[in-house]
Structure 1
């Protein structure tokens, strides 16, 4: 979601301010003309009023755009807060094999959150994809990018000793 252009918001607010001042000027001019009672000036007032109405319409359109962009900005901030809150439930875990993955902190609810999170997808997609355990290979694999992460070093088979015949 794109961040709203601050220059556009500033311009819209300036237009709103100008529209408010124009409205006040129109009202003041109208009162002055009514007090003086000059009918000739009413045609000029109507022309100015039409120009100001157009300006007010543009100011209202700019106000709507500013409101929409502020709503987008609020939604972006809310999504970022939720992302940060979920991310704070994890820590970077270094596996014995040397891989770094995100692991759920002790005491967090494992029914609502995945135990392991893919570090690649967290950075590139800004989303929390579970790593599924494959016990036979001692690895976890990302649901999304299919990247495997080794949890344990491969154990070597025990050394075999030679128990052959004695040498003479």
Structure 2
């Protein structure tokens, strides 16, 4: 899973909204403190209204924070998956076959118990790991591109026309 920059922008906007809500809650709290100093002069309904506004703002902040935490967790998981995929791709090196095809093969000492195998460079460029199947001619299991490993023994055979 790749990290989408829109998700990062959404998380930043949510954090900004949370900050704005927190600022409004603080302003309401200051208002309530000022009202409480002169409580004899202020009617009770105004104090109740200010307290209700504060509670609504605090609830809004809590919801925004929970959403922000969830989105940041998704981003963290996405980043971890991306790093894992990249470290897997780092085990491969681009290899030019004797026939002149380019494909990825495991670097020496990076097999982790796996059999020798090859990865399609086209798919790898698209952040997919597709295995090449076959012997002298290998076909990508993802995009079906054909790769030649060994040169043809009789290149003139290509030029023959069959009637």
Q: TM tier, shorter chain?
A: 0.7 to 0.9
How many corresponding residue pairs? 153
RMSD of Structure 2 on Structure 1 (CA): 2.6
Structure scoring higher RCO (CA < 8 A, sep ≥ 6) equals 2
Alignment check: 8 A CA contact 1:94 1:101 kept: yes
Three-state SS of the structure 1 residue aligned to 2:99 is: coil
Does structure 1 conserve the Cα–Cα contact (< 8 Å) formed by 2:8 and 2:75? no
Q: Is the 8 A contact 2:29 2:54 kept in 1?
A: no
Could you say which residue in structure 2 is the equivalent of 1:47?
49
Among 64, 67, 71, the residue aligned to 1:65: 67
> Which residues of structure 1 form unaligned runs of 5+?
158-168
Q: Quote the offset at 1:6 in angstroms.
A: 4.2
Indicate how the Cα distance of structure 1 residues 110 and 147 shifts in structure 2: closer, same or farther if over 3 A, else same.
farther
Partner of 2:133: 132
- With normalisation by structure 2, the TM-score equals 0.76
Kindly indicate which of the two structures has a greater share of residues assigned to helix: 2
Q: Say if 1:115 and 1:84 are closer, same or farther in 2 by CA, change over 3 A.
A: same
Partner of 2:152: 154
Task: Classify 1:108/1:63 alpha carbon distance in 2 versus 1 (closer, same or farther; 3 Å).
Answer: same
Distance across 1 between alignment mates of 2:17 and 2:124:
42
